[in-house]
Amino acid sequence: MLRYLSVRIFSSAIVIFGVVSIIFVLARLVGDPVLLMVEPGTTQQDMAEMRTALGLDRPILEQYASFVVGAFHGDFGDSVRQSTPAFDLVMDRLPATLLLTASALGFAVVGALILGILSALYRGSIIDRLANALALFGQSIPNFWLAMMLILFLSSTMRLLPSAGYGTVQHLIMPTLALGLFSLARLTRLVRSELLETLSQDYVRTARAKGVGPVAIVVRHALGNVAIPMITLIAVDFGALMGGAVVTETVFAWPGVGRLMIQAIGQRDFPVIQAGAFVIATLVVVTSLITDLAYALVNPKIRYA
C-alpha cells in the first residue's frame, strides 16, 4: 500500500508539473502583455523598460527556469495587472469555485441516485421515459447555452432569481443547474444501467421470492454494485466541472478561479494564468488519488500493488 501510494504521489507530481509547464508555454503564445498596458504614444524605450521590470526581456529558457524554482517554493510571481502575488489572488477566488463545484456535484449525485433508482425500479414507465429524456437533454445541451436560457427565463422573464452575482443561495441556483446538469445526466444513465443489470441477477430474484421489498433490495443488494463505477465517474466529473466552471463563472459573473483566469488570459497576465492552472491541476490530481484509495473502502477485496 505504501509503495503504491508513493508511486501515485510521484506520478501525480509529474502530471502537475507537466500541466503547468504546458500552460507556461501556451500563455506566452497569447502575446506581449506590455502592449495591453501602455498608453497610446508610449515610446519603444518605455516599453522595453516595462518588459525588463516584468522579466519578459530574458530568454524564454531563463524565464522558465525562474518559474520552476519559484513554483517549487509556491511563488508564481506578482500579477502583471494588480501587482499582487498571483497565488494569493487565486486562493482568494478558490472558495467560490469550490462552492459552485460542490453544489453542482451534489445536485448531480443526489438527482442521479433518485432518478436512476426510480427509472430502474419502474422500467418502461413514464418515470423511466422522463429520466431518459432528461439524460439525453443534459448530455446534448452546452452549459453556456443552458446558462443563458436560464437567465432569460428565470431572471429576465420570471424575475425569480438574480441574473448574476455571488453571496446568497439565490445566486447559486442557476449556476448549479447550468454546471451540474451534464453530470446529472451521465450519472443517471450509469445508475440506471448498473441497477438494471444487478436486479436481473439470480440472488435478487431469490430475495424477491422471499418477500423482500424493492427498496430493501436496492439498498442492501444493488447499490453496492453501483458504488465503484459511480465513484469513478464522480472523480472524472469533478475535473470536468472544474473546467466547465470557467464558462459558467463568466456567464453568471461568479467570482471564482475560472472567471479570474479568463480575465487573466484577456490581459495576458502570465503569473495568474500559471497559478490558476497549478491550483486546478492539483485539485483534480488529488481528487483522482483519493478516488483510487476510496475503492478499497468500498470493496475490501481490492488490493493495491
Q: Which H helix or E strand runs over 287?
A: helix 270-298
pLDDT at 38: 63
Cα–Cα dist 119/240, whole Å? 25
Copy the grid coordinates of residue 80. 502583471
pLDDT at 176: 93
Q: Give the up-direction half-sphere exposure of residue 219: CA atoms within 13 A in the CB hemisphere.
A: 5
Give residue 212's Cα distance to chain centre. Answer: 40
Cα–Cα dist 10/97, whole Å? 27
pLDDT at 159: 87
Burial of 31 (0-12, 13-18, 19+ CB in 10 A): exposed
Copy the grid coordinates of residue 144. 453556456
The model carries a pTM of 0.83
Asked if 191 and 198 count as a contact pair (C-beta separation under 8 A), the reply is no
- Closest-CA residue to 21 (of 79, 60, 73, 78): 60
pLDDT at 170: 92
Homologous superfamily (CATH) for 88-298 = MetI-like (1.10.3720.10)
Residues in the chain predicted with pLDDT less than 50, given as ranges, are none
pLDDT at 109: 92
Cα–Cα dist 148/43, whole Å? 43
106: how many CB neighbours lie within 10 A of its CB? Answer: 12
- CA-to-CA dists, residue 62 to 30, 34, 158, angstroms: 19, 19, 56
Cα–Cα dist 140/146, whole Å? 10
- Closest-CA residue to 240 (of 139, 169, 151, 149): 139
Phi/psi at 297 (nearest 5 deg)?
Answer: -75, -35
63: how many CB neighbours lie within 10 A of its CB? Answer: 16
pLDDT at 164: 86
Domain ranges of the chain: 2-72, 88-298
pLDDT at 194: 85
pLDDT at 43: 72
pLDDT at 23: 83
Copy the grid coordinates of residue 281. 491541476
